[in-house]
Amino acid sequence: MSLSPNPHLLSVAPMMDWTDRHFRYLVRQVSRGVLLYTEMVTDRAVLHGNRPRLLGFDPLEHPVALQLGGCDPALLAQAARVGEEWGYDEVNLNLGCPSERVQGGGFGACLMKEPDLVAECLAAMREAVGVPVTAKHRLGVDELEDYGYLARWVEKLAGVGVEVFIVHARKAWLKGLSPKENREIPELRYGWVYRLKQDFPHLRFVLNGGVRTLDEAAAHLAHVDGVMLGRAVYDDPFVLEHADARFYGLERQPARLEVARAMIRYTEAQVEQGVPLWAVARHLLNLFKNQRRGKLWRRLLSERANRAGATPEVLWEALEHIAAPELEAAAG
């Protein structure tokens, strides 16, 4: 039996500094179906920080999941409740981040050594909210790289009702590797995620790590319930160009120029509300990746949208340079 319907079929990974509300809005222009995740927000930040800034999002972003970081069941439960009140469709717990700051707080990947505490956290979060509570974790950490350990971990969390496991298919080295190296050096073992699905067919497994194209995602979907893409989408949001037609049965074909226009209009609205131009424009740099004049677009934005006093007009001007060939074709 598998859970249905399946919102986890395709998702975009939580990425600090990258998957803020502006980038998520951009991705949503490209795909209506894909599930979006926020950057990690700590439980304490949710409880004591500037909530509109940390949690605010556009209704168009749905379905969107809030990723929390923390290791205190009571605080995580409270933060999850706030997330639900703000309208998030899911609350996810980060059990995979190896950064020193996060380790210093005793959460993220180092929690993979503490399944009892993690189960307590997830149980408290589940009790606090009606939306799904999911876990995002690694295959293991440090010397704990053993399929048996991973299977017992899943069993433990399933025991408190967790039904969705997002598995970054490599372990994390907590000492000696930077977070960036920890996304590249430990070996990817997709077979372990496939095996989890075989061993726990009633649970939902989302495979993450190193997936670059929709063809690759489709191949994994023969073995697991969902695929999460991270860097590939940031590097080129149009990697999701055919996602709606191919995975969601939507007759939709986004075009880069249309998406660019929508994003410039969005930027204008944001700037009017006091958001700095670059906070949005920086996410648009890869919008014409691998396209004719894509490098020109990137350069124009980097040079002009990052200047003091720049207005969204510089984006319209950059787009004119990009759109010129299209206009010429239409005229000729």
The binding site for FMN comprises 14-16, 67, 136, 168, 208-210, 230-231
Determine if 230 is a binding residue for ligand FMN (CB under 6 A).
yes
Pairing type for strands 204-208 and 90-95 reads unpaired
Q: Which is nearer to ligand FMN, 209 or 312 (CB)?
A: 209
**Is residue 276 part of the contact set for ligand FMN (CB under 6 A)?**
no
Q: Are 185 and 204 in contact (CB under 8 A)?
A: no
- Minimum distance from residue 308 beta carbon to ligand FMN (Å): 26
Smallest gap from Cβ 209 to ligand FMN, in A, equals 5
Q: Is 39 helix (H, G, I), strand (E, B) or coil?
A: strand
By CB under 6 A, the residues from 110 to 139 that bind ligand FMN are 136
Tell me the per-residue interface mask from 190 to 229 with ligand FMN, x by CB under 6 A, - otherwise.
------------------xxxx-----------------x
CB under 8 Å to 70, separation ≥6 — which residues? Answer: 42, 43, 44, 76, 79, 93, 105, 107, 121
Tokens of 83: 């997330």
Q: Determine the interface stretch with ligand FMN among 8-16, 23-31, 297-305, 323-331 (rule: CB under 6 A).
A: 8-16
Please report whether residue 183 would count as binding ligand FMN according to CB under 6 A.
Answer: yes
Q: Is 188 in the site for ligand FMN (CB under 6 A)?
A: no
CB closer to ligand FMN out of 111 and 301: 111
Q: How far is the CB of 241 from ligand FMN (least distance, A)?
A: 17
| Contact assessment for residue 172 and residue 185, using Cβ atoms and an 8 Å cutoff | no
Beta bridge partners of 165: 135, 205
Any idea what DSSP says for residue 34? S
Amino acid code (one letter) for 71: C
Q: By C-beta, is 228 or 300 nearer to ligand FMN?
A: 228
Provide the minimum distance between the beta carbon of 168 and ligand FMN in the complex, in angstroms, as a whole number.
4
Applying CB under 6 A, among 31, 42, 94, 270 the residue interacting with ligand FMN is: 94
Give least dist CB 138 to ligand FMN, A. Answer: 9
List residues bridging with 30 in a β-sheet: none
Q: Which residue stretch of 82-90, 94-102, 110-118, 127-135 sits at the interface with ligand FMN (rule: CB under 6 A)?
A: 94-102
Q: Has 110 been annotated as catalytic? A: no
Q: Do 135 and 157 meet the contact criterion of CB atoms below 8 Å apart?
A: yes
Q: What is the DSSP code string of 32-67?
A: SSSEEEEEEEEHHHHHHS-HHHHH---GGG-SEEEE
Decide: is 96 part of the binding site for ligand FMN (CB under 6 A). yes
CB atoms under 10 Å from CB of 81, counted, come to: 18
Nearest approach, Cβ of 292 to ligand FMN (angstroms)? 27
Q: What does the CA dihedral 298, 282, 241, 221 come to, rounded to 10 degrees?
A: 130
Query: Residue 40 interacts with ligand FMN (CB under 6 A)?
Result: yes
**From CA 266, how far away is CA 22, in angstroms rounded?**
9
Q: Where are the alpha helices (DSSP H) in the chain?
A: 21-30, 43-48, 51-55, 73-85, 100-104, 115-128, 147-159, 190-199, 214-220, 231-235, 243-247, 256-272, 277-281, 294-304, 313-331
Which is closer to ligand FMN, CB of 192 or CB of 300? Answer: 192
Q: b/e per residue, 65-76, with b = 16+ CB within 10 A?
A: bbbbbbbbbebb
Q: Does 16 bind ligand FMN (CB under 6 A)?
A: yes
| 14 is a contact residue toward ligand FMN (CB under 6 A) | yes
By beta carbon distance, the residue nearest ligand FMN is 230
Judge contact between 65 and 89, C-beta under 8 A.
Answer: yes
| Residue ranges at the known binding site | 14-16, 67, 136, 168, 208-210, 230-231
Chain residues in the site for ligand FMN (CB under 6 A): 13-18, 39-40, 67, 94, 96-97, 136, 168, 183, 208-211, 229-232
What positions carry a catalytic annotation? 97
